[in-house]
Amino acid sequence: MRKNYVKARPHAKVSVGESVRIIRELQEMSQNDLSKLSGLPQATISAIENNRIALGVERAKIVARALKVHPAVLVFPGWELETESAA
């Protein structure tokens, strides 16, 4: 089955802040909307999206809950699972 599999190459690197912005915009949500849902100030949302402050574990949980995604989607946007070959 796997012999026909071709791994896709990444087209762009996405930062944590960009992943928050992309997911928020895909849900047609403004920063103010996310602020209301998460309880975080809009200025904090902006700072996260512009990579001026780190998302951090606790904020990742809060933002992920508001966006209805798993926190790992936000924290590890470019992470790829490396396949290990059996020895």
More confident: 44 or 4? 44
Distance CA 76, CA 87 (A): 28
More confident: 10 or 85? 10
The model's pTM is 0.75
For the range 43-50, what are the long-range contacts, defined as Cβ-Cβ under 8 Å and sequence gap of 24 or more?
A: 45/20, 48/16, 48/17, 48/20, 49/17, 49/18, 49/20, 49/21, 49/24, 50/17
Residues 46-64 have a mean pLDDT of 95
Catalogue all structural domains in the chain, each as residue range(s) with its CATH number. 14-75 (1.10.260.40)
The pLDDT tens digits of the residues spanning 60-83 come to 999 999 999 999 989 887 766 565
